[in-house]
Structure 1
């Protein structure tokens, strides 16, 4: 053996010395940074080090706990339970990883969104544990494990580690994270009946509490957002309100939920319990329905997904009404079910049926009378928005088991309302949005079983409504109408689903509340209540058009604006070939997506967008026969919060084939700023001199660095495109 060679144990000792010295240096640096913390500014590139904290903190926690417990188990010097070399190595590993965790945690603490007091104590405990562990290692030879002082130090370390871990859990997962299961298990479950349940308090809030509160509470408010109270939830965070029914994606809450799981903006974050499909539908329907905090579950239509969700969640405690009639013939139920008329049992074991009608244009009076074979089983009928006339009430009155009848926004005038007196079991009736009069409504008081009548948004005057509210027999729901409370109208509905048009196309709009005036613009300006044209017949459009509309009515605030972009397509490419491949997460149907004539929703995760970030978007559109083109339109997306920006440059090339292309148009889009709306459809139209073209090449270049005001400053932006249209 070479006399100059070192034995293996000496190499090992040298490595332990290097690790010890490195840990000593990092602890010194950590204390130095702590002293000058207020003057410290963490550079952008160090944020990744901070975000490694959750990955590394568990290692020193486990190792130091093992060493401390091992120390407590050793009772005497000659104990066979103790291995000094292994113990020394274990403590050194714990010491080194503790300072790594403390250093990364210190960097992470400079980010926003954590409750100050909890963060202060967690940070100091982490640094104390790191410094104390290297002191313990340095004095190890003077503190054998069988000494009482070593036992005291071990117990102290266990306490510090448990308290520090608990505070860290509070910061990451919410207050009392460790003790919550014990508290929950000791509390009896408070059941609520189906009839008493509220949509928000008993369905929505439990989902938010389970899946969202951990990151958005008083202790930890990511994005300056807290969600524990109705007021905080409505207020939103630094990115604005959580929902907006005028947006296609319904606003920030649902947009973040639908982002891909590996997107860092996706909520809940990867690694946390995710929302189920049913919970996502619940949130979306709650927002679409007006995000009411007081709405009762029992007031929802049985066909609403929220109703079905409530049955699954609350069904075990629901008091089901018993019926004294037998079930209908299943074959007859199946026979009477149509595309526009749905008949379903209340539950699998119930003989009671409810009926829901759809498609106003296809409705006819016989759709009601045809249900006569089931008249002894139908207990609820929803005819909302159907063209039901007064004479149809005579037919409806022939269903003796009816308990609930919805005639909301029908054509009822009230002349035959007295026919409903024949329904001796009717408990709930909705006449909202109809032209009924006070005298007709008062006749309903003679129906002994009737308990609740909805009459908001009718022609009944306010002083007359006040008279009805005095009734002790029937609860008349009149809505929020007073001299001091003014409600905003819902936005008008643009009925056309297809957004890609080929020629003169009539655009239809409607509003649910009678007497509402719809005003619109197609020139890019916002519609007002005075100068904007009034919608009174379908609007003919024959080119790229951004339709904006609002609803107005005396005694109401004007609605929010609704927007819809219609794009003209004269020539559809025979084939499309992508020159550059999209990102694997956003590849839609490949090149076919650019010429399928389908406009995607404004949701990045819809599966219809081609997304580019690392490379330019480049594609060929090919025609078997030359077309005389004069413009090319790109349909794109802007989602500022999702890092999706307009391209910095668009180029359109054209020619007879791929080898003879010439530049036809260059567009330099304007970049968003802090005031730009978060989500919007973008349309870029490249005009050029009319010419015969068989091949078109389109290039769109992503923004290389997001601006300084953006949370992702310095990172690359995305470019999203779904259609390239040739005219």
Structure 2
């Protein structure tokens, strides 16, 4: 035992030699090497282990450089050998983990290539230094030159790694002009994107989404790249309740893998999140001036804090709210913030349509004496909610754009004696209801774009002197496109007694739809005039049409006919730990997986086939099994290559009922999409059903992950 302990350096040297050999072998066959899922954790240890060998090797090199003569009291050969062998082992561990990490998606630059090869060079040179240390006396000039060159490589490799993580100018940025020396743009000349939004994106997002490191295929260093989006599609979509990828991922829990910025990175402040959401809700314009905004706008308030400005804020005669109360009432999709620093006035923004309830307005009553601005754009606010809003006596600004308000209760706003600005764009208000607003003495401006009021009615309102009605730009030669209709029904699994509801914010708009997969047009497609019954699995496609407007873009959604209630289910093959959903319960929980946030809804398979049982306590007369799956080729999620459906009275009496063999895509298909596979067979009594699905074993040559295994995502199995 003592002999082995005394030769510990030899053991470590042999281990380091073996690992370097393995690393060289992997490099020679890099094109054929695919990182298994279990090994990804090794790669992600790279940031944890790389600092130790850097410190140890730098210390050893500096020690060699300062030794002057053989009998120097500064030199301790045993300690120097210990430092070098420890540095040698940890260097190869860091190089190996870095090589594994480099195989992950999103690292695509020349900087990565140089960093990887220098890291491997450092590992190989370390073991060569240790093996030849007897021939490299530290007090000789050639030894100092070799070690000095090695030290330069260590510094350069570390610098390139810092550039990958923190950006190209990470090391030298403190040497550049200080922030105070950078000329600030004048408030009146500032643009919302260039001077407010862009700096936030550069500070919090650019380090992971640039030409050197494009996580998710996304780069944001130019406006064109920002609009283009990444592998997940466009970054924003105002037709969605959560405004699309950019805003929804900011609101995910910090522990969620899809949360942005990732855990460990500097997070956005609440004010910055409000800024980005307000910019997206306002149309994500790149040319909008800050000075064109209302002083009540949250973007305007943010600009005052960041840019300054000579405008005088309104003085309020009420005291500030209790900070703990404000913090308690803030939620993921309802943000309450002061208008500006030290101001007692609060503004409120709502973000997620799907999560909104009327009680969310009632819940703000403890702050009714401080809330001066409320933005409920695109929330399902109804006429009865106006009565709740009328209970906030300090409201100066109320935004109800594209809500469900029809105007029947607008008279309730007379109670708001300080209301100066009201926005009703995109609602179904009528002329008579708009006229009731003239009885509100404090009201100065009303926005009524896209409300369905006739040109004559709008002209009449514009002639009024008391209230300034903003009706938007109109031209006899300009035809605008309608917004897409809204599919109100959130759930996708529709039972016998349920129906699908559509709506459009502009009165007089005709919604046409199809359920047979064809594209809806303005003449032949079905007209939506009542909720739609779903009698079979269908893809609903809808467009909006109105005289004097271009037809809207298409909106679509997959709906499933609910089947027999499943009593229990069992998974026969293991699910990938990163995508385990609710386990077997995901197969019959009545919820179809989200096409964007896949971490908590789908069962993911890569190394194994999917095999699962469905059980019924009483036999059911079955003739069809629907399998809900996902395709997102940019994220390596492919259709299965084979689906088998088996059935019988129990596991031992199963017989093959149906085989489906989906085709492998021959080219990239952008975005994510629900796939629906229907296995129809002769009607029969079944108590046990087994479904088998096989993932793609080899990704095609045209794909960036060619040769590797494809992912397969599955969630709901429906028996009819």
Quick check: TM above 0.5? yes
Partner of 1:379: 396
Which deviations, in whole Å up to 9, do the C-alpha atoms of 1:44-78 show, x marking residues without a partner?
A: 22879999695676455333311232134435543
Equivalent position of 1:633 in the other structure: 626
Distance 1:553 1:132 in 2: 73
Question: Does residue 670 of structure 2 align to residue 654 of structure 1?
Answer: no
Aligned to 2:564: 571
Please give the alpha-carbon distance, in whole angstroms, between the structure 2 residues aligned to 1:393 and 1:25.
Answer: 77
1:443 aligns with 2:487: no
Deviation, 1:536, is: 3.5
Q: Which whole-Å deviations, capped at 9, do the CAs of 1:310-345 have from their partners, x for residues lacking one?
A: 6999799997532347899x9xxx9xx963854848
Residue number among 384, 396, 404 corresponding to 2:421 in the alignment: 404
Cross-structure match for 2:344:
none
Q: Does structure 1 residue 429 correspond to structure 2 residue 446? A: yes
Question: Deviation string for 1:632-663 (max 9, x for gaps)?
Answer: 22222223233333332222222333333322
Q: Return the alpha-carbon distance in structure 2 between the equivalents of residues 100 and 341 of structure 1.
A: 56
The whole-number CA distance in structure 2 between the counterparts of 1:163 and 1:314 is 37
Residue 535 of structure 1 corresponds to 528
TM-score after normalising by structure 2: 0.73
Residues 283-317 of structure 1: per-residue CA shift (max 9 Å, x gap):
6786576544456899999999x889969997999
Q: How many residues align?
A: 675
User: Could you report, residue by residue, the CA deviation over 1:158-202 in whole angstroms, capped at 9, with x for unpaired residues?
Assistant: 555334422332234311122446769754799999999977556
Listed as ranges, the matches of 1:594-605 within 5 Å are 594-605=587-598
Q: How does 1:240-389 map to 2 (within 5 A)?
A: 241-243=234-236, 290-293=283-286, 321-324=314-317, 339=359, 342=362, 344=364, 350=370, 352=372, 363=383, 377-384=394-401, 385-389=403-407
Aligned partner (choices 423, 441, 454) of residue 470 of structure 2 = 454
How many angstroms apart in 2 are the aligned matches of 1:489 and 1:208?
Answer: 30
Per-residue deviation at 1:719?
3.1
Structure 2 partner of 1:472: none
Q: Is the 8 A contact 1:622 1:695 kept in 2?
A: yes
**Cα distance between partner residues in 2 of 1:193 and 1:568:** 58
Deviates more, 1:310-319 or 1:379-388: 310-319
Taking the aligned partners of 1:218 and 1:22, their CA distance within structure 2 comes to: 35
- 1:13-24 matched pairs, under 5 angstroms: none
| SS across alignment from 1:663 | strand
8 Å contact from structure 1 (residues 63, 90) kept in 2: yes
Match of residue 688 from structure 2: 695
Equivalent residue for 2:679, pick from 677, 680, 686:
686
After TM superposition, give the deviation of residue 570 of structure 1 in Å: 4.1
Q: Which one is further off, 677-686 or 128-137? A: 128-137
Q: Which residue of structure 1 lines up, in the alignment, with residue 339 of structure 2?
A: none
Change beyond 3 A, Cα 1:685–1:600: same
In structure 2, how many angstroms separate the alpha carbons of the residues matched to 1:99 and 1:368?
Answer: 67
Counterpart residue number, 1:37? none
Of residues 565, 578, 582, the one that matches 1:589 is 582
Gap change, CA 1:607 and 1:145, over 3 Å in 2: closer
Partner of 2:73: 80
- Cα deviation 1:449-488 (Å, max 9, x = unaligned): x6xx53237xxx427xxxxxxxxxxxxxxxxxx74xx654
CA distance in 2, matches of 1:676, 1:224: 15
Helix, strand or coil: the match of 1:170?
A: helix
How many Å separate the matches in 1 of 2:366 and 2:190?
Answer: 18
Q: What runs of 5+ residues in structure 2 fail to find an aligned partner?
A: 330-356
Return the offset for 1:594. 2.6
Correspondence for 1:705 among 698, 708, 711: 698
Query: Do structure 1's residue 45 and structure 2's residue 33 form an aligned pair?
Result: yes
CA distance, structure 1, for counterparts of residue 513 and residue 612 of structure 2? 36
Structure 1, unpaired ranges of 5+ = 1-6, 34-39, 464-481
Report what 1:36 is aligned to.
none
CA distance in 2, matches of 1:403, 1:248: 28
Q: CA deviation at 1:103?
A: 9.7
Aligned to 2:555: 562
Structure-2 separation of matches of 1:507 and 1:442: 39
Shift of 1:397: 4.8
Query: Hey, what's the Cα distance between the residues in 2 that align with 1:126 and 1:522?
Result: 57
**Distance in 1 separating the partners of 2:680 and 2:663:** 18
Computed over aligned residues only, the root mean square deviation of the Cα atoms, in angstroms, reads 5.6
Conserved in 1, the CA contact under 8 Å of 2:187 and 2:308? no
* Aligned twin of 1:518: 511
TM superposition shift of 1:95: 6.9
Specify whether residues 246 and 647 from structure 1 end up closer, same or farther in structure 2 by C-alpha distance, changes over 3 A only: farther
CA contact (8 A) 1:197 1:296 kept: yes
CA distance in 2, matches of 1:411, 1:256: 32
Q: Report if aligned partners of 1:42, 1:110 keep a CA contact under 8 Å in 2.
A: no
When structure 1 is superposed on structure 2, of 491-500 and 238-247 the one drifting more is 238-247
Segment drifting more, 84-93 vs 675-684: 84-93
| Distance (whole Å) between structure 2 residues aligned to residue 145 and residue 25 of structure 1 | 27
Distance 1:278 1:10 in 2: 60
Counterparts of 2:696 and 2:597 in 1: how far apart (Å)? 18
Query: Take 1:112 and 1:723, find their aligned partners in 2: how far apart are those partners?
Result: 29
Does the CA-based 8 Å contact 2:428-2:507 persist in structure 1?
Answer: no
Deviates more, 1:489-498 or 1:208-217: 208-217
Aligned CA distance change for structure 1 residues 376 and 580 (closer, same or farther; 3 Å): closer
1:494-525 CA-partner distances (Å, limit 9, x unpaired): 12223222326543212223443323221112
Structure 1 window deviating more from structure 2 (534-543 vs 242-251): it is 242-251
Query: How far does residue 493 in structure 1 lie from its aligned partner after superposition?
Result: 0.8
Q: Which TM-score applies when normalising by structure 1?
A: 0.72
Q: What is the distance in 1 between the residues matched to 2:59 and 2:243? A: 50
Cα distance in 2, alignment partners of residues 668 and 66 from structure 1: 61
Q: Report the 3-state secondary structure (helix = DSSP H, G, I; strand = E; otherwise coil) of the residue aligned with 2:450.
A: coil
Say which of 209, 218, 228 aligns to 1:235: 228
1:549 matched residue in structure 2:
542
Measured at CA, do residues 531 and 284 of structure 1 come closer, stay the same or move farther in structure 2, by a change above 3 Å?
farther
CA distance in 1, matches of 2:116, 2:563: 63
